[in-house]
Amino acid sequence: SEQRSRMAKALFTPIAISSHCRTRDSRYCSRATPENRNKTDHSVLRHLTSKIKSTGPISVAEYMREVLTNPVSGYYVNHDMLGPDGDFITSPEISQIFGELLGIWCVSEWMAAGRPKQFQLVEFGPGRGSLMSDILRVFSQLSAPLGGAEMSCHLVEVSPRLSKLQAQCLTGDQSQVSTNEDDPVYRRGTTTTGLPIYWYRRISDVPQGFSIFLAHEFFDALPIHIFQKTEKGWREVMVDVHPETEDKLRFVLLPSATLASSTLLQTDEKRRHVEVCPEGGVLIQQLACRIVEDGGAALIMDYGHDGVKTDTFRGFKAHKIHDVLAEPGTADLTADVDFSYLRRVAGDRVTCIGPISQRAFLKNMGIDTRLQVLLRHCQDPSNQAQLIQGYDILTNPEKMGERFQFFTLLNHRRKGPAPLPVAGFSELCLR
């Protein structure tokens, strides 16, 4: 069988993907370079090379899944990637204004839906819990308009380690871990603002009911397949062990079509190099079903494009671009979200709006006014400077303003003969 696998490998075409030298359209990176990083751990690489040696090259999707969410060695399972020694920084960590405006968005969507009695707030991949914490602060300040709603908080998080950080942030350590491994709720508690809060591993575990779903820098972490157009048709890009250096990985092209290459691509695809995220597609379909059946909305916020970009798979380590195949498990892996794909799989049972830029969304939500209010109430010049700097990073087109995108899935009932404007997606709604 070793000979067969060697022969099979000889058929794969090695290809170079320039993932280590892409800076132009990359994630926003702060200039901090943490010094005290853990020493490199080779267990993920060892696990991957032995797997590839026994069964052959793996898809990029399988590579991403193993590297990011393997229950033992996965990057998210072992890292606090947003902490002081982290690898990247995200909007909720940059400024409290971000979460506050999203809190207002959630309330506005709940009101537009006719103020249903039950109100579930669901967040996917909440990181350190900062976004949810800022939203909950807004909710507690808006207790009068929200009065009477039965509110609850639901977090979908694969990493037990991050769920603990989230619980510290949101409940002040008032949470309990389930002792039964089969329990879909693996942690529960009460938020510091008095709401019931639950942690799950996947969306199917979240109870049905009117929900506002939030996903911030979540879809970009879901595994992608990569395809390349060749003279013989579409072929899938795979990850293989380097033939000369056993502890190095390289990309190769599969010699023949696969189920993935024949089912995941559009027949009229114009690009020659395409990334597809079927897990993201399945999640969108689940969200669309729930929104149709129970009402609600989903807001997806991510680095992304509308079906035009080709090569966005990359790694981040200590706030710098990192070769996606080097030292797997020690760096974050991400691929820009293809919103045209999400819109297509959502189908026409729901209304999709966007993507629009973070700058446009936050301006529509009143970020300029909010900044002025905060500045007026804040005496300390260094806090003022921090507020202004945060505003700049979020909205400046050269920073996150244009690269970061907002996309929403809504219940059709909003559509009617005179469709209601949707907060954040049109300027009108705040007037």
> What are the residues binding ligand SAH (CB under 6 A)?
68-69, 76, 82, 90, 92-93, 125-127, 156-159, 162, 216-218, 221
Cβ proximity to ligand SAH: between 49 and 358 the closer is 358
| Least distance in angstroms from the C-beta of 270 to ligand SAH | 30
Cβ proximity to ligand SAH: between 54 and 178 the closer is 178
Residue with tokens 């967040």: 123
Partners of 304 in the β-ladder: 337
| Least distance in angstroms from the C-beta of 396 to ligand SAH | 18
| Least distance in angstroms from the C-beta of 282 to ligand SAH | 11
Q: What is the CB neighbour count within 10 angstroms for residue 169?
A: 18
Q: What is the CB neighbour count within 10 angstroms for residue 222?
A: 24
Cβ proximity to ligand SAH: between 107 and 214 the closer is 214
Cβ proximity to ligand SAH: between 211 and 228 the closer is 211
| Least distance in angstroms from the C-beta of 125 to ligand SAH | 2
- Tell me phi and psi for residue 237, to 5 degrees: -85, 130
Cβ proximity to ligand SAH: between 98 and 119 the closer is 98
Cβ proximity to ligand SAH: between 217 and 240 the closer is 217
Burial 26-58 (b: 16+ CB within 10 A, else e): bbbbeeeeeeeeeeeeeebbebbbeebeeebbb
| Least distance in angstroms from the C-beta of 203 to ligand SAH | 9
Task: Please give the Cα distance from 384 to 382 (Å, whole number).
Answer: 5
Cβ proximity to ligand SAH: between 100 and 157 the closer is 157
Helix orientation angle between 381-395 and 96-112, rounded to the nearest 10 degrees: 60
Residue with tokens 């000979």: 3
What are the tokens at 170?
């949101």
| Least distance in angstroms from the C-beta of 65 to ligand SAH | 8
| Least distance in angstroms from the C-beta of 336 to ligand SAH | 15
Largest CA distance in the chain: 73
Partners of 315 in the β-ladder: 322, 333
Task: Please give the Cα distance from 75 to 186 (Å, whole number).
Answer: 20
In the complex, residue closest to ligand SAH by CB: 125
Task: Please give the Cα distance from 22 to 24 (Å, whole number).
Answer: 6
Cβ proximity to ligand SAH: between 68 and 299 the closer is 68
| Least distance in angstroms from the C-beta of 156 to ligand SAH | 5
- Tell me phi and psi for residue 314, to 5 degrees: -155, 165
Q: How many CA atoms lie within 13 A of 340 on its CB side?
A: 12
Let me know: does 144 contact 154? Beta carbons within 8 Å: no
- Tell me phi and psi for residue 217, to 5 degrees: 50, 45
